[in-house]
A and B are shown apart, each in its own frame.
Chain A
Amino acid sequence: MLRSPLFWLLVPTLLLGATAPWWLGAYYLGIFTTAYYFGVFSMSWDLLFGYAGEVNFGPTFLIGLGAYGAGLLNNAGWPIPLCLAGGSIIAVIGGVALALPALRLRGPYFGLITLVAVLLLIDCIVIFAGVTGGEIGMMVPDVLSISATVNYWYAFGFLVVCGTILFILSRSSLGLILQATGQDRIEAAALGFNVTKHKLAAFCISALFSGLAGGMLVFYQGTASVDTVVDLSITVQIIIAVVFGGRRTILGGVLGSIFLILFDELLRPLGQLNTFVVSGIALLVVLLLPDGVLGYVLRPRASR
């Protein structure tokens, strides 16, 4: 464990993260809070993309279900923890709905179905504007906290817990079997693994964490809107974060999310061009370091 480069990267990063409220201003704490929730989105997406090999363009379908589910329950008068649980359950149901076509369709076909799921969700939100607030968004009566520091702690704790669980899962037999099915489904089935069961499990786990993080984000921001939790640009950000940080590493997604959101803020003086620059950097990483930043650092020295 002491020899692993990951350990030596992780300890100082966690220390920096845990002590951040003492040396960072409230403005940057807010940025990191958002980035941490995005980190959870990215990690759960990586479980499907990196491990199960599913081209899922619809992470925001799951996030949106969790976020809007939690928001609607909160508007119905439920307390926050119950809303989060309810939102996650709705997201898991959505995950099962996405997993059904994934068992039949491959590659781009499945990718399109997930894209359609997002578009339909956006249309539903706009059509039922009376309940969901439509394009303007839906306010929620309760928020986690109004203090930037407390919000930061919630997000940081949530990220660490989710990261630990997802990382352990990815290194367990589940992660290995998912990788095997992602790379060669027939051979994995021939080796006696139940492909259907494991795929379904991956979708449920991914949906659970996406939905939960979506709900947390809503109660952090105090509002749920298409732009912040369902829009395709969120999907794009998640994909960029995972590929930048390193797919099939789980933790790379967190690194990518922090890079993406931090740089988007730092480059704000560039105006509209900041997205251009961030996408350009991510594109260079994709072309030059296909394993992502973390993947490059963690690769065994001999094969570099």
Chain B
Amino acid sequence: MLALQILIDGFAISALYGLGAIGFTLMFGVCGVLNLAHGGIMVIAGIIGWWAAANYGAGPYGGAAIGVLAGLVAAYVTYFAIIRPVQRSRAIPKEEEEIFVLTATLLWGIMLQVGLDYLFSNNPVTMRSMIPGVISLAGVRTPRNEILIAVVCWVVIGLLTLLVNRTRLGKQLLAASINPRALTLLGFELSRIYMVVWTIYGLLAGLAGVLLASFIGVSSANAGALTASAFTIVILGGLGSVPGSLIAAYVVGYAETITAYLIAPTLRPIPALLILVVVLYLRPQGLLGRR
């Protein structure tokens, strides 16, 4: 009974972690950008979605759509106002670009968090369930919404896999992650591909934020923890590897759920951190990462 409960809850939360992390890993794989404002973008989507649904009668679906849109806009602003100036700046040497991207997105993430805190306070907000009601799965009472979230996550992940592996656009993305220089020599516009990645990233982060708001709720105070958890999952799975991130999301999700149910809810984050330390010592490139 308890085992089944852990299995179901862990599955849903892990799917959500996976959805939150694959945008992050795609971004690093193709553009080489580690976006430390990731959590901030997720929280924007969640809070704007809740705000539109609660105050403007947009309903749970309309609110979700507006939230995803807000995530997309936030991602574009991050790209045009923060990342592009760093990449184009002549005063920043190329070999130090990574450090500058990390610092700039870190600052931007704080600005997002504090701005949201100012506008919406840091009280956690929860969106109304998209499908109300509870269903009994082999004796375990599970909210229908939780099942919907897991399904949506996996459908989106599946669509993304199809896009990357089966379409012309996806092949360009893969090529850009392997050898961007060769791709430009073949006559493809790299900045256009980056725009595509930022669009996908914005939609994924926005959707993850909205689903999180409807599952366990979001608050501006979560932004840092969300970035840290995406970062953990992505590094654990191997930077730039989408399947690795999904496996890592399930490892982290189940480690947290099992600890919360069987040991103590307060110890929830610790096992995932310990697993991470051990994996990085034994296999520094992560589970499925390339060196």
Contacts and interface: CB of A to CB of B under 8 A. Distances in A.
Interface stretch (B137-145, B172-180, B204-212, B228-236): B228-236
Interface in A88-110: 101, 104-105, 107-109
A108 B91 contact: no
Contact of A55 (B95, B99, B108): B99
Interface in A101-152: 101, 104-105, 107-109, 111-113, 115-116, 119-120, 123, 126-127
A290 B280 contact: no
Nearest to B239: A108
Given A108-B34, A116-B277, A283-B104, A275 B85 contact: no
B273 A279 contact: no
Contact of B103 (A112, A239, A272, A276): A239
Interface in A233-248: 236, 239-240, 243
A232 B224 contact: yes
A174 interface: no
Contact of B273 (A108, A119, A127, A289): A119
Nearest to A124: B270
A46 interface: no
B276 to A, nearest CB: 6
Given A101-B280, A279-B107, A112 B270 contact: no
B86 interface: yes
B132 to A, nearest CB: 35
Interface residues of A, number: 38
Contacts, number: 96
A236 B280 contact: no
A291 B91 contact: yes
A11 interface: no
A82 B193 CA distance: 59
Nearest to B111: A279
Interface in A260-296: 271-273, 275-276, 279-280, 282-283, 286-287, 289-291
Contact of B270 (A101, A109, A123, A282): A123
Nearest to B99: A55
A276 B118 contact: yes
A120 B228 CA distance: 13
B284 A282 contact: no
Contacts of B117: 272
A123 B263 CA distance: 15
B102 interface: yes
Given A109-B235, A286-B103, A275 B114 contact: yes
Contacts of B107: 240, 279-280, 282-283, 286
Contacts of A112: 231-232, 235, 276, 280
A196 interface: no
A272 B284 contact: no
Interface of A: 49, 55, 101, 104-105, 107-109, 111-113, 115-116, 119-120, 123, 126-127, 183, 232, 236, 239-240, 243, 271-273, 275-276, 279-280, 282-283, 286-287, 289-291
15 contacts: A55-B99, A55-B102, A104-B281, A108-B98, A109-B235, A115-B231, A116-B276, A120-B274, A123-B270, A239-B106, A240-B103, A276-B111, A279-B107, A279-B114, A286-B103
